[in-house]
Copies of this chain bind each other. A is one copy, B any other.
Amino acid sequence: MSTPIDRPSAADPEHDESDAADTPHAEAAEPAGPGDAEASLDPQDWAQFRALCHEMLDAALDHVRGVRERPVWVPVPEEAKRGLTEPLPLEPQGAAAVCDDFRRYVLPYGTGNLHPRFFGWVHGSGTPGGMLAELLAGAVNANLGGRDHAPIYVERQVIDWMRTLFGFPEEASGLLVSGTSMATLIGLTVARNGAAATDLRHHGLGAEPAPLVAYCSSEVHESAAKAMEILGLGRDALRRVPVDGNFAMDVARLAEAVAADREAGMRPFCVIATAGTVNTAAFDDLSAIADLCAEQELWLHVDGAFGALAILSETRRHLVAGIERADSLAFDFHKWLHVPYDAGCVLVRDAELHRRSFSSRQDYLAAAPRGLAGGNPWFCEYGPELSRGFRALKVWFTLKEQGLRRLGRKVEDNCRQAAYLAERVSDHPQLELLAPLSLNIVCFRFTRPGMSADELDRINGEIVVELQERGIAAPSTTRIGGALAIRVNLTNHRSRRSDLDLLCDAVLEIGEELAPA
């Protein structure tokens, strides 16, 4: 069998380190003497490596600190793309050369979400403390699938805090995951398995006597439909209930849909309520939906990706009233809590059902009352992943470093800023608000009397691209009632009102350029 490893290295004069590469495998690589570390992959020259790390740490800190002075985003230049398409790296390039490549090709060309004028999609902006935590997690290099070690207790601590914050009972379970998409997949797995008439883990959906159906609003995040697909239920089994004028689920229509499905021989099992839709940050009425779920014996899953964190804001907290009644709750730390990507969480009220939906320990994962194999239960019993990195550390670090009240003040700030922007938009004849403001997302557009709907869509799409390409600001787009909207999301602790002034001015200026009056 021939592999690329056998072939002669592609000539790469930039990275010629043939000294290390051509040493034949000999006893020298399997040393017995103490202190002889050449055989490992650790640095051969620790002092040199340490100096490099300190240099890169400074570069990283400077990068974050200086973000306001740079453009929000610059297109990835061809040179960087070329630099990131090299042949399979057969020979060692050494850490210093890799750091050079990182500084040339990667660091300058991020998404821009660290920048105070990044308003696209729903991104958190990270903190230097979170970055430090990532370094420390790298030093620990833990697998949190299970076993008995301190990182496990860190994750338990974080879950316990979240249970407390969201008013879940003490015996509820939870798991840190990459984000709300995974959290929803887990929540719905538990809901599905709990509702099944047969032993679904063994027999699959084929043995179910009636089709399982779930409900959400028409504004639901796509991850809910993807979860239904993966679970074998199919997206058609996710009924999209119409929304009211505030883009919240019409609960009367929900009740009708459930009744109609029962009538038709289906088996309703779950309602997915949204706390903060991605289009407009609309909130479903969680209390009313929880009442219906209780009455109809349906699982209540709440997608609170960013909106759940409204709980931290004194003035917006009422929007999530009822969240403590969810059977499962999915939300993110990397959005409005500014933990570095990726970090989300699922909480499940019924811990035993949660564990029963995922636990299956084989011989090689047997538990022990003592030793490393202790620490029961293991986190791998609560989700699909057996290998799980130490993302709990950056969450723990951020929550402790900042404190939830300060994090809540930033949530509050963002909401006030959104209100300020909505006011500016409403006040200007060339700008039009496209959706009511409920939290932190403002959807608006540039207008010009006499322009067709198509022209307006085209112009506003171009304005957004120009804002991005000129490095001024980075909103994203969406469609509200069919119309293309400039979508400004504020989950950014570095944003100030002056940044929103600058955005408005630039939208107007670019609008004038593209469509002179």
What is the CB-to-nearest-CB distance from A323 to chain B, in angstroms, rounded to a whole number? 9
8 contacts between A and B (CB under 8 A): A52-B132, A76-B149, A93-B401, A110-B141, A135-B135, A204-B236, A205-B206, A232-B233
Chain B positions within 8 Å of A58 at CB level? 50
Residue A389, interface by CB 8 Å: yes
In the assembled complex, the Cα of A389 lies from the Cα of B333 at a distance in Å of 12
Taking CB atoms and an 8 Å cut-off, the chain A residues in 400-451 that contact chain B are 400-410, 412-413, 416-417
Nearest CB in chain B to that of A132: its residue? B53
B406 and A98: CB pair below 8 A? no
Interface window among A61-69, A243-251, A255-263, A290-298: A61-69
Asked whether, in the complex, the Cβ of A126 is within 8 Å of the Cβ of B138, the reply is: yes
Residues of B close to A226: CB separation below 8 A: 358, 360, 384
What 1/0 flags go to A149-188 for Cβ under 8 Å of B? 1110110110011001101000000000011111001000
Contact: A406 with B21, CB < 8 Å? yes
Q: Indicate if A458 sits at the interface (CB-CB under 8 A).
A: no
A67 to chain B: closest CB distance in Å? 9
Interface centre among A204, A374, A476 (most CB of B within 10 A): A204
Tell me if A469 is interfacial: C-beta within 8 Å of chain B: yes
- Complex CA distance for A3 and B318, rounded to whole angstroms: 11
Nearest CB to that of A405 among chain B residues? Answer: B90
For A52, the closest partner residue in chain B by CB is B132
Q: How many Å lie between the Cα of A160 and that of B81 in the bound state?
A: 14
- Does chain B have a CB within 8 A of A299? no
Interface segment among A268-276, A340-348, A508-516: the answer is A340-348
Extra 11 A-B pairs, beta carbons < 8 Å, given A5-B408, A59-B139: A5-B165, A60-B135, A84-B150, A95-B397, A141-B341, A341-B390, A342-B387, A342-B389, A370-B469, A371-B464, A373-B476
Given A76-B153, A142-B110, check contact A364 B279 (CB 8 Å). Answer: yes
In the A-B complex, the 4 residue pairs with the smallest Cβ-Cβ separation, listed nearest first, are A232-B232, A204-B234, A179-B387, A131-B138
**Which B-chain residue is minimally distant from A374 (CB atoms)?**
B75
The complex places the Cα of A421 from the Cα of B456 at a distance, in Å, of: 73
A262 to B223, CA, bound (A): 35
Distance between A234 CB and nearest chain B CB, rounded to angstroms: 3
Query: Do B57 and A405 have beta carbons less than 8 Å apart?
Result: no
Given contacts A39-B413, A109-B149, A469-B370, contact A234 B211 (CB under 8 A): no
- Taking the closest CB of chain B, its distance from the CB of A364, in whole angstroms, is 4
A417: which B residues are within 8 A, CB to CB?
A: 30
Known: A202-B234, A373-B476, A405-B5. A102 touches B397 (CB 8 A): yes
User: With A179-B387, A181-B387, A384-B227 given, is the CB distance from A138 to B134 under 8 Å?
Assistant: yes
* Residues A140 and B41 in contact, CB atoms below 8 Å apart: no
Chain B residue numbers with a CB within 8 Å of A389 are 178, 334, 340-343
Which B residues touch A352, using CB under 8 A?
none
Interface residue from B211, B334, B372 paired with A468 (Cβ < 8 Å): B372
Cβ 8 A contact of A140, one of B107, B179, B192: B107
CB of A240 closer than 8 Å to a CB of B: no
Q: A143-B341, A386-B179 are in contact. Are A372 and B73 (CB under 8 A)?
A: yes
Q: Which of B147, B167, B208, B363 contacts A279 (CB 8 A)?
A: B363
Establish whether residues A61 and B65, one from each chain, have CB atoms under 8 Å apart when the complex forms: no
Among A86, A128, A141, A469, max chain B CB count under 10 A is at: A141
Which residue from B94, B200, B494 sits with its C-beta under 8 Å from A401?
B94
| A406 with B92, Cβ < 8 A, contacts A132-B53, A278-B364, A390-B341 known | yes
Contact of A85 among B141, B157, B371, B397 (CB under 8 A): B157
Question: Is A127 an interface residue when CB atoms closer than 8 A count as contact?
Answer: yes
The interface residues of chain B lying within 8 Å CB-to-CB of A131 are 135, 138-139, 141
